Amino acid sequence: MRVEHNGKMTFVYFSPVRLALTKEMINHPALIEHLSKHDSAEFEVRLAETARFCGVALDGVYDPQDVDNICELCLRELQLRSMGVILSPHQKFHHSLDVQKS
């Protein structure tokens, strides 16, 4: 995050990964349900909730680069959860479950 002041206005620039994470969050209704309990201005709390949802363990004090790294980890996990399997008509789906016949 970068902050600039021009005397009349304050500009806050967020990292691309933070913006990408925010956009990806809307594709996960269960996460949105958890995040709705927190004020949208509480970024750190919402990031911690997102990390918990994604299975990313947090323990420490983080600088801005660390926060971007956490955002990146969460973004990757959410994107993995969003991926679907698309098969062409010529492919067959095989599962790996062992089914015992009785």
Q: What is the pLDDT of residues 48-68, one digit of tens each?
A: 999 999 999 999 999 989 999
pTM of the model: 0.71
**The predicted structure's pLDDT at residue 96:** 41
Q: What was the pLDDT predicted at 41?
A: 85
Mean pLDDT of the chain: 83
Q: Spell out the per-residue pLDDT of the chain, length 102, in tens.
A: 667 778 888 776 778 999 999 999 999 999 999 999 999 889 899 999 999 999 999 999 999 899 999 999 999 999 998 876 555 566 554 444 444 443
* Domain residue ranges of the chain, discontinuous segments joined by +: 2-82
At residue 100, the pLDDT reads 43
Give ∠ CA 57-78-31 in degrees, rounded to 5: 80
pLDDT score for 56 = 95
